Amino acid sequence: MLLPWESTTGCSLSLFLEEILRFAAQILEFLLWLSAKEVQMQPAVLSHSVAYIFQVHSIIHIGKICYVEILRFIQYYVFNMKTKKHIHVFILLAIFFIVIYIILAAKPLGKEYHFTPEWRKSISTPTVQNVPLETQQIYFKLGQSIGYFTEDGQITTFKTFPSKASISSEYYAIYNTDDLHIQFFNKTNSEQGTFEASGFPFFEEDRIYIFLPGGGSFAKCNPQGKVIWTNENTIPITAFSSKSLYTASGYADGTIKIFDNETGLETIAFNPGGSDYKVIFGLDVSSDGTYIASVSGHDKQRFVLTKNEGSQPKIIFHNFLDSDMKQRSVVRFCDNDKRILYNYENNLGIYNIENQKNTSIKIDKSVIAIEETDSLIFVLGKKGNEYTVYIIEKTDTLQGSFSFTADTAFIKTCNNNLYIGQDTSISKVKISKE
């Protein structure tokens, strides 16, 4: 004998409505999976699918809440009703809630990021174009080739090199390790100068350096290649960074030195310490020289942020890392020096100077490049021949990622566009928030 709230009609109706809601939830879950698969199948050229994934995550969350609430409604008003004369009212109300849920799920939930492919160019046999001097040019190094291209995909300089090459936004050089006099060129492909010292050229934006034989000394040069000043050291350099005002170098004995770019005078020298085996794996200095960030040490490796308060910097934050990585770490100030990104074993660390919060994001790649736009930071990771681009919003949250297979790759950003190099091709992706 059935109790009043256990009528066969009520049970059947409840099960029917429950199946409808479960089916709707499964459809949304399938769309989420399908969108993710689409991005994995075409990783080098992002599409609206990335933005759709972010939106569907929110839709699924709201849908599950509606799903639970509607089931509670069914259980209370159908299972517990003692008569059947108002059953059609409850059916109509349940259908109404389903319709409202579908309408909400169909509408965009605020502005979302959209990644629109604009072009893809092969650089196997490129046609080099001449462009006006004021044209914005982006540099690249891909395999055994270097060069410059414009935002609309015109290749303006393309060079292959058998041994070594260095390139920045302003200059490039192709050389052999035993060259005594190395010529270098500007981005218009005109000869810029010749290094008067032998070694290994290094360019960072418009700054020109040459690392001297032995691995512990370097010189800063003028635009013609003449030495302005030299720093000599017998300890190998293990990390290096420069900004318009300062140059920072880290050494195998755990020492960090900061130099004035104009005079070459050593303004700061210190050892972050804290580890049994001292070595600097990654290093960066803020634009005004106020902050110095580093990843250092082995056996209790740690991230250290110091603030320049005179000749001796003060440690304002440090974090012992669950890592004993024995390779170079990328350390980079971003977002107008408000954030520092640093990588260590299977993690990407983000320290926010404004709110003094440290965040870690799990990644399974070694970071090789960091680029940023107005609102997003892109991190390129590599493991074997698999590359992953991690998309991080400037709220220290991972928004998404995509992977692809290549022998060599790069990422660049310019005017809120993302450029992806993959073996013998370069792609442009326009970023918008709509």
Residue 177, pLDDT > 80, answer yes
Per-residue pLDDT for 374 more than 70?
yes
Residue 84, both tokens: 């059947």
Which of 333, 327, 373 shows the shortest CA–CA distance to 346?
Answer: 327
Query: What is the average per-residue pLDDT within 112-131?
Result: 92
Distance in angstroms (rounded) separating the CA atoms of residues 236 and 352 = 31
What's the pLDDT score for residue 53?
A: 44
- In tens, the pLDDT along 1-50 reads 443 334 444 445 555 555 655 665 566 565 555 554 444 434 443 444 44
Task: Annotate 307-320 with three-state secondary structure.
Answer: ECCCCCCEEEEEEE
| 431 pLDDT more than 80 | yes
Confidence tier at 63 by pLDDT (50, 70, 90): low
Measured in whole angstroms, how far is the alpha carbon of residue 253 from the centre of its chain? 30
Burial label for 44, CB within 10 Å (0-12, 13-18, 19+), is buried
Give tens-digit pLDDT for 212-260: 999 999 999 999 999 999 999 999 999 999 999 999 999 999 999 999 9
pLDDT at 38 (0 to 100): 45
Q: Quick one: CA dihedral 105, 107, 112, 118, positive or negative?
A: positive
Look at residue 161 in the predicted model and tell me its pLDDT: 95
Q: What is the DSSP string of 110-155?
A: S--EEEEEEEEEE-SSPPB----TTS-EEEEEETTEEEEEETTS-E
* Cα–Cα distance, 404 to 158 (Å, whole number): 24
Half-sphere exposure of 118 (CA within 13 A, CB side): 15
- pLDDT score at 62: 54
**Range name among 53-57, 292-296, 385-389 with the lowest pLDDT average:** 53-57
